[in-house]
Structure 1
Amino acid sequence: MKLKVYTVNSFAKTIEGGNPAGVVIDADSLSDESMKDIAAAIGFSETAFVMKSESAHFKVRFFTPEEEVDLCGHATIATFYVLLSKGLIKPGVFLQETKAGILSVEVKADSSIMMEQNTPSFYEIVNKKEIADSLNITENEMIDELPVQIVSTGLRDILVPVKNINILNAIQPNFEEVSRISSKYNTIGYHVFTLETLFGSSTYCRNFAPLYGISEESATGTSNGALASYLFKYENIKKVHDHPFVMEQGYSMKKPSEIIVELMVKGQEMGVKVGGKVLNLSEMEVEI
C-alpha cells in the first residue's frame, strides 16, 4: 500500500532554505510502528501525522527517524501550511492537540504560520566546560555573562552562547558526547547561538540533536522559542532586538532559514509564538 506524504520547507528564507518536514494527512489508521517507519523512510528530521481530535481542531503527532517527540515547531508550521494549501482550512486560529498540550496555531492571510508554544520553563544551569568539551571548543569562546542553561517551551534544550559567528560556524561537535550529555539532562539537544548576526537579526544559531538522529537541523521552532525567552530573561546583560525576535539558522548548512518569535509579556506571565514562511510544497509516496 502506498501512502501520500506532503513535503515542505518551513522557515525558509530562500528557495534553498528552511527545514524540510513531511506531513501525512488522515493518519488515524496508522500504528505507532507504521508512523515511525514512515518517518524513517522519509528521512527528514521530523514528520507530522494529522489525526482527528475530540479536544481540538486536529491532533498532531511528531516522529523523528528514531522516535516520537512531544512537539515540533517546524513540522507544525508545515502541517498547517499543507492544510491551508489543500483547502482543508482557511486563514484563522486553530487548536492542535499535541503531547506537549493543546496549543493554538494562527494561519495568516499571507500564508505565514505562527504557533503558540508553552510558557517558558527555566531549568538547570549546566557546567560550561562539560558543554565546551563536547563541542570541541574552549570556555573562553563562550559568552562570559550568559549561562549555559536548559530552557523549554515544549521541549527541553541546552542553550549555549558563543562569542561570534566564526566560532559557531567552525564547531565540529563530538556527537557521541553531545548525545550522552543530552540524555544525561533529559534534553533534545544543544541550541548554540551568538548575538553576532549576518543581517541585523536577534541571533545566529546552530542546532545539534544527535540523540534523536539529527546531527544538525537547519531551523528549529521550539528551540528558538526557548531562546527568545532566555534572551528576554537576560536582556539586561547583552543587546537584544525589539520584539519580535528574528533568528538566523541553517546558514552553516547552506539552508538559509528565518524564524520569527513573538513574546507576549504581562507581568510575570510570558506567552510565546513561533513562526515564519513556508516554501517548496511537493508530494511523494511511501510504501507501507
Structure 2
Amino acid sequence: MTKITEAYQLNAFGLTASGGNTAGIVLNAATLKDEEMLAIAKKLGFSETAFILPSKICDFKIRFFTPAREVDLCGHATIAAYSLLFQLGKLPAGIYSQELLAGLLEVRINERGQVFMEQSLPQFGPQFSPESIAPLLGLKAEDLSLSSLPIQVVSTGLSDIFVALPDRDLLESVQPDFEQIRAFNHQSNTVGFHVFAFDTTTGSTTATCRNFAPLYEINEEAATGSSCGALGCYLHRYWQPESHFEFEQGLNLGQPSKIIVDLESVEGEISKVIVSGFAGKPEILQGI
C-alpha cells in the first residue's frame, strides 16, 4: 500500500472539545486505488474518511469511504476536510468548488474558519407507515402516529428515512434493531434512519436528532451533516417554510454536536441547501 504522509483526524460540528463527529482526512490520495482507500477507512474505523484528490473540473475532488463502502457525500467529513486545509494554511478564506459523487458543489470558508458546504437540491422519496417502521426502532406504532409529519425518504446527496417523534424522552428511549434496520435500508435502497424531536436543550435549536446507518457499519453517528441538510428541506416542506435551522445531535453519545442548515428558495421552492459548522484541532495520524 502506498505510504500516506498526510493523514489527520479531527472532529466536526462539536459543541465541546469532546463533541462532534470524528473524520479521517487523507490529503495526498491521488495515487491510491479504490481498495486502498477502503482499507484505510477500515483501519481508521471512523464513520467516514475523506480522500482529497486533484480534479480537472473543480478545485478539489473528494471521495468518502465508510469502513464498509464508498458513499456519495459526507457532511462532517467535508467540514473537517476544508477546516483542516484552512488550519494548515493550505487554503485561505474563500469560495471553492468540489467534485463529489453527489455532484459538483460549492464550499465556502469564512475568516473564522467556519465551513459552509452546498448540498444537492432535495429529492423526496417514498413514505412508510408507522407500523412498518416502529419495530425497527423499538417503539410502538402509536408512538410514531403522535406526529403529523410523514415518515419519508429525503435526499440532498444521501437517501435517509426521516422519522418525527413527539419529544426528546421518546427519542432517547429508541432502541434500534440494527439487523432489521440494515435489512430495511438494503431493501429500500436507503442509507439510514434520521430520527428527531422538536424538544431540544436550547431555545435556538430546531430539533434534537439521532442517526442510525448500520448498513454502512455506522450504528449511531454523533453528527450527520448530509442528513441534517435533508431534514431542513423536509421541515421546510412539511412543518414551516423557514430558511434557517439548527440541529443538535450526539447528546446520548456524550459527543454533543451542532449542525446549521440554511436554505435559499425562489417562489417557495428550495434553490440552495447549505450546511455549516466548525471543526476542532487536527491530530496527525501515524503509520497509515
Q: Distance in 1 between matches of 2:243 and 2:251?
A: 22
Is the deviation greater in 30-39 or in 81-90? 81-90
Q: Distance in 1 between matches of 2:195 and 2:216?
A: 17
TM-score by length of 1: 0.96
Equivalent residue for 1:172? 175
Tell me which of 220, 229, 233 is aligned to 1:225.
229
Equivalent residue for 2:197? 194
Whether the aligned pair in 2 keeps the contact of 1:2 and 1:285 (CA below 8 Å) is: no
Deviations 1:28-52 (A, max 9, x none): 1001010000001111000000000
Equivalent position SS for 1:208: strand
The alpha carbon displacement at 1:265 in A equals 0.9
Residue 276 of structure 2 is aligned to residue 272 of structure 1: no
Give the 5 Å matches for 1:141-180.
Answer: 141-142=143-144, 143-180=146-183
TM-score by length of 2: 0.96
Equivalent position SS for 1:224: helix
Q: Can you give the 5+ residue segments of structure 1 that lack an aligned partner in the other structure? A: none
Equivalent position SS for 1:27: coil
Equivalent position SS for 2:154: strand
Tell me which of 202, 205, 212 is aligned to 2:209.
205
Q: Distance in 1 between matches of 2:181 and 2:202?
A: 29
Equivalent residue for 1:254? 254
Q: Can you give the 5+ residue segments of structure 2 that lack an aligned partner in the other structure? A: none
Q: Distance in 1 between matches of 2:44 and 2:287?
A: 8
The alpha carbon displacement at 1:286 in A equals 3.4
The alpha carbon displacement at 1:270 in A equals 2.7
Residue 188 of structure 2 is aligned to residue 185 of structure 1: yes
Deviations 1:103-141 (A, max 9, x none): 000101110101000001101011221111111101222
Deviations 1:38-85 (A, max 9, x none): 001111000000000001000000000011001101000011011111
Whether the aligned pair in 2 keeps the contact of 1:5 and 1:286 (CA below 8 Å) is: no
Equivalent position SS for 1:145: coil
Tell me which of 60, 63, 69 is aligned to 1:61.
63
Is the deviation greater in 42-51 or in 124-133? 124-133
Aligned letter for 1:169? E
Q: Distance in 2 between matches of 1:38 and 1:232?
A: 38
